[in-house]
């Protein structure tokens, strides 16, 4: 299908205007970047509503748009758990309980908080592992963009990645985090207006919601499942064999809803950095809560196209849409959005849709690169390589790190091609890094007795447990290697996602237990150095004089109630 889509003049014009606009934002904001704090944390001047949309959009990269659509085709309505179970509760917890420690400690990054709470070695371990994760995540965005431009326009895969990487590099070098944040707000609206027509046209083709359910019933039957397995979220989670994700309810609740979700939303500096850039403590706490509303509605923009695509491929539509296969004969789920854009959108609308996809790529890549340059400079370069330089030197190093992060991400992009669903590889990375890290943070913020030796040993043990579990297990029909089984094979999982959830559970549990045991064997931290870092040693924040719609607890309760209603509606 490469090169089959022809853009008109209006499509090229929309793309050109977008590229010029994002670079213009960077050039305009460059005058405000005078110190390293301006470059890495926007001088902590971002309004709450801007930080909230950027918080949402930083997660709305290519892995979200392409990956969630792919998961919608591969796993059906159960993919909604990544939002209503695997995001909203953790976002509320971050806002209400964890942001006071992040923002109040005045740390420049999540690893720096670990140094303040524990010790230098714990910070160093997390800085290195987080840097690896951001490079992998950014590589996923690059891979998705190269795939997109190759499919839709016939551009060379590698040239496409290098070109788009150069544009992202340009506006981050100019305006730092502030440029990334304001571009993320622009990209949020582009994605909404670019994909809404795609959902409408796809639903019309498949025959509306009833036609979609009928088509998904045929998909489920063809794969040996009950008719509702692709269209219901909870009903078929009683066993691993009754749903396409191959996960039972405990794996969803514990593996995704607790470990992976809280590990990502509460400890991933890519996300937390947006809230830490807010203009005040109140704005920082409201940032994740502002993001919950669009977050819980996005399944209808990014998951539904995947469900429509697989139903149409089964012969449910009148337009002849078919999802292409990979060389091994399996459906190429990562191409759901690109192929649907080319199939449904006429000139003009195609330019808008393509720009929205490129915007998702820009958002995800820029978020990871800005997080990488901050952690590299403040948590690796400054403490371990050169700690006596001027602020301008660290500003220069931040820009150098931006270039290095982009180049490393390009290398990672080629590794991702081994998976037919980029969300699978992303969750695998999170299981190795974020899952044990959340155990460390949970104990560090809410258990005064946790010490540096316990935290460091727990992180090592949790990461090792993830590696051991991955090395001994394998998804069904996969070959030993990057997907697991590289030590031996003692268990087969029904899917990559099921393996990821249990990898995360083992990693979190191991880190949690080891941290407690080692901490109890050592000395307790001095209580005076825990003020502002541990819940029991920090005065609470009084929200009694604040209007209800600015109180994190009230906003959080509304978000949780809305998520619960959505779960019930699609049970």
User: pLDDT tens for residues 298-327?
Assistant: 889 989 999 999 888 877 666 778 888 777
**Domain span at residue 257?**
9-569
CATH assignment at residue 15 = 1.20.1730.10
Which segment of 124-128, 359-363, 489-493, 510-514 scores lowest on mean pLDDT? 359-363
Angstrom distance (rounded) from CA 189 to CA 196: 11
Task: Report percent pLDDT > 90 for the chain.
Answer: 22
Q: How confident is the model at residue 444 (pLDDT cuts 50, 70, 90)?
A: very high
> Which whole number is the average pLDDT over 112-141?
88
Rounded distance, CA 444 to CA 453, Å?
12
If we measure between CA atoms, which residue out of 449, 455, 439 comes closest to residue 534? 449
Q: What is the mean pLDDT of the chain?
A: 85
Sign of the C-alpha dihedral, residues 416, 417, 423, 425?
Answer: negative
| Spatial contact of 153 and 7, defined as CB atoms under 8 Å apart | yes
- Model confidence at 457, pLDDT cuts 50, 70, 90, reads very high
List pLDDT tens digits, range 486-501. 999 999 998 888 898 8
475 three-state secondary structure: strand
**DSSP-assigned beta bridge partners for residue 331:** 325
Facing residues of 473 across strands?
491
Residue located via tokens 């290398």: 411
Structure-block tokens of residue 270:
């890519």
Quote the pLDDT of residue 4: 56
* 421 and 498 Cβ atoms separated by less than 8 Å: no
Contacts 24+ apart (CB under 8 A), 469-475: 469/502, 469/503, 469/506, 469/507, 470/428, 470/431, 470/432, 470/499, 470/503, 473/499, 473/502, 473/503, 474/499, 475/499
* Contact call for residues 297 and 30 (beta carbons, < 8 A): no
Distance CA 331, CA 313 (A): 10
Q: Flag whether pLDDT at 176 surpasses 80.
A: no
Tell me, yes or no, whether 1 lies in a domain.
no
Q: Per the domain annotation, does 4 fall within a domain?
A: no
Overall number of domains in the chain: 1
Structural domain includes residue 16: yes
| Stated pTM of the model | 0.83
Is 38:397 a contact under the CB 8 Å cutoff?
A: no
Alpha-carbon span 126 to 387, nearest angstrom: 19
Comparison of pLDDT for 381 and 551, the residue scoring more: 381
In a domain, 123, yes or no: yes
Of 269 and 344, more confident:
344
Asked if residue 542 is part of any domain, the answer here is: yes
- The answer, yes or no, to whether residue 6 has pLDDT greater than 80, is no
What pLDDT sits at residue 557? 92
pLDDT, tens digit, 9 for 90 and up, residues 15-66: 888 888 888 887 887 777 777 777 776 667 788 888 888 888 877 766 678 7
Question: Does some domain include residue 312?
Answer: yes
Residue 162 lies in a domain: yes
In a domain, 3, yes or no: no
């Amino acid at each position: 299908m490469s090169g089959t889509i022809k853009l008109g003049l209006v499509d090229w014009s929309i793309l050109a205007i977008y590229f010029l606009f994002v670079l213009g934002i960077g050039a305009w904001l460059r005058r405000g970047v005078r110190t390293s704090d301006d470059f890495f944390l926007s001088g902590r001047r971002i309004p709450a509503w801007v930080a909230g949309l950027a918080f949402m959009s930083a997660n709305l990269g290519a892995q979200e748009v392409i990956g969630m659509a792919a998961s919608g085709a591969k796993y059906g309505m159960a993919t909604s758990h990544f939002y209503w179970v695997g995001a909203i509760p953790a976002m509320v917890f971050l806002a209400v309980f964890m942001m006071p420690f992040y923002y109040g400690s005045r740390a420049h990054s999540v690893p720096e908080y670990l140094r303040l709470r524990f010790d230098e070695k714990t910070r160093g371990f997390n800085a290195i592992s987080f840097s690896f994760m951001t490079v992998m995540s950014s590589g996923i965005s690059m891979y998705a963009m190269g795939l997109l431009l190759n499919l839709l326009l016939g551009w060379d895969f590698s040239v496409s990645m290098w070109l788009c990487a150069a544009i992202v590099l340009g506006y981050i070098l100019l305006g730092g985090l502030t440029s990334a944040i304001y571009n993320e707000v622009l990209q949020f609206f582009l994605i909404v207006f670019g994909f809404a027509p795609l959902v409408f046209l796809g639903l019309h083709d498949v025959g509306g919601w009833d036609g979609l359910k009928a088509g998904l019933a045929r998909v489920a039957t063809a794969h040996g499942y009950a008719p509702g397995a692709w269209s219901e979220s909870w009903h078929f989670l009683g066993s691993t064999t009754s749903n396409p994700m191959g996960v039972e309810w405990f794996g969803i609740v514990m593996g995704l809803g607790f470990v992976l979700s809280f590990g990502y939303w509460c400890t991933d500096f890519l996300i937390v950095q947006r809230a830490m850039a807010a203009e005040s403590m109140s704005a920082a706490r409201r940032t994740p809560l502002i993001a919950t509303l669009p977050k819980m509605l996005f399944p209808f923009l990014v998951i539904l196209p995947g469900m429509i695509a697989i139903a149409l491929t089964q012969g449910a539509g009148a337009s002849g849409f078919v999802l292409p296969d990979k060389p091994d004969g399996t459906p190429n789920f990562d191409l759901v959005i690109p192929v649907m854009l080319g199939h449904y959108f006429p000139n003009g609308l195609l330019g808008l849709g393509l720009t929205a996809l490129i915007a998702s790529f820009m958002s995800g890549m820029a978020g990871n690169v800005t997080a990488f340059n901050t952690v590299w400079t403040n948590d690796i370069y400054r403490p371990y390589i050169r700690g006596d330089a001027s602020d301008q030197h660290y500003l220069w190093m931040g820009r150098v790190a931006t270039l290095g992060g982009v180049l490393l991400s390009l290398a990672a992009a080629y590794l991702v091609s081994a998976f037919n669903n980029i969300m699978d590889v992303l969750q695998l990375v999170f299981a190795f890094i974020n899952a044990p890290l959340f155990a460390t943070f949970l104990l560090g913020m809410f258990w005064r007795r946790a010490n540096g030796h316990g935290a460091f040993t727990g992180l090592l043990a949790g990461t090792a447990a993830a590696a051991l579990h991955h090395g001994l297990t394998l998804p069904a029909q996969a070959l030993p290697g990057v997907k697991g089984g590289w030590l031996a094979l003692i268990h087969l999982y029904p899917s990559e996602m099921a393996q990821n959830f249990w990898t995360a559970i083992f990693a979190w549990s191991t880190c949690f237990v080891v941290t407690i045991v080692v901490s109890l064997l050592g000395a307790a931290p001095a209580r005076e150095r825990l003020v502002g870092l541990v819940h029991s040693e920090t005065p609470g924040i009084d929200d009694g004089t604040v209007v209800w719609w600015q109180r994190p607890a009230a906003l959080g309760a509304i978000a949780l109630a809305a998520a619960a209603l959505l779960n019930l509606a699609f049970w």
